[in-house]
Amino acid sequence: MDEKEYLVSRVDDQIKWFDRKSVLNKKWHYLQSIISAFASIMIPFLISYFSYTAFRDFVIFVLGIVAAISIAIEKIFKFRSNWTRYRGTCETLKREKFLYLTKAPPYDSRDFGYFVERIENILQEENKSWKSTVQEKNQDATGS
């Protein structure tokens, strides 16, 4: 694989992937946060401002369940930590690419192999982090 092919098929591809996943996880994190906050805020509001009815209690019950489910989904899927981790990896890859293309230190006197080694180390660290996150999810799911 030559330099141009590596930059396009490996580095640019990974930058795009991490960018997309970061944006997606950010959206899910905000959605889950808004849902759980809204449902949680509405419960005391309904209790305080509306007199007792079976319908009011049913709505409060549903909002409590919605808030709990929303919080559980965020905990299970870790949208916030994925968002920040993916964004960090994306920006690190971009930085390395631009340092290499401009021949700025540490690439001012280094060859293409050094660049590939650094990129692959970044991706390897991300893979280790991902594996750790998956193992945590599995432990949370099984209760171990």
pLDDT score for 2:
93
Q: Identify the sign of the CA torsion 121, 127, 129, 132.
A: negative
Given this model, what pLDDT does residue 132 score? Answer: 84
* Average of per-residue pLDDT values in the chain: 94
What span, in angstroms and rounded, lies between the C-alpha atoms of 2 and 112? 9
* Tally of structural domains, the chain: 1
| Over residues 106-129, mean pLDDT | 95
* pLDDT > 90: percent of the chain: 85
Task: Judge whether residue 138 has pLDDT over 80.
Answer: no
Provide mean pLDDT across the span 64-86. Answer: 96
**AA letter at 104:** A
The pair phi, psi for residue 111, each rounded to 5°, is: -95, 180
pLDDT (mean) for 36-65: 95
- For residue 11, give its domain range: 3-142
- pLDDT value at residue 76: 92
Residue 21 to residue 43: CA distance in whole angstroms: 33
Q: How confident is the model at residue 144 (pLDDT cuts 50, 70, 90)?
A: low
* pTM, full prediction: 0.85
Mean pLDDT of 81-106: 97
| pLDDT score, position 92 | 98
How far is 141 from 144, CA to CA, in rounded Å? 8
With a cut of 90, say whether residue 135 has pLDDT above it.
no
User: How many H-runs (helices) and E-runs (strands) does the chain carry?
Assistant: 5, 0
User: Which H/E stretch holds residue 8?
Assistant: none
